[in-house]
Amino acid sequence: MSARQFEEFRASSLYCAACGKAQPVRERLLLVLPDRELFEYTCEVCGDSVGKREVTAADTIAQKLAQRSRQAAALRSDRQVRIL
């Protein structure tokens, strides 16, 4: 397993107290602030709120930098293959 797999977590199912078991969830953007974004998870079955997620601006910037770094590395490796 690589560290890239754990850069960002998004829930696909969470425990719902109203339903009494884990249910599929929907992620909804609640609020955009200058330094972070707030998301809410709601149960797809009953619609109750079952969780929240916060993404900070630093996390977003780090993700973009990591993605650019991976793209640059892929381009460099493509060039090396063509030279050989």
Residue 3 resides in a domain: no
Give the tens place of pLDDT for each residue, 4-52: 566 667 889 999 999 999 999 999 999 998 888 999 999 999 999 999 9
Domain interval for residue 76: 11-83
Residue 32 resides in a domain: yes
Higher-confidence position of 25 and 76: 25
Residue 47 resides in a domain: yes
58 falls in which pLDDT band (50, 70, 90)?
confident
Residue 1 resides in a domain: no
Q: How many domains does the chain have?
A: 1
Residue 73 resides in a domain: yes
Sheet holding 13-16, edge to edge: 13-16, 21-32, 36-43, 49-56
pLDDT at 11: 87
Is pTM, for the whole model, over 0.75?
no
The type of residue at 20 is G
Residue 71 resides in a domain: yes
80 falls in which pLDDT band (50, 70, 90)?
low
Sign of the CA dihedral running 73, 74, 75, 76: positive
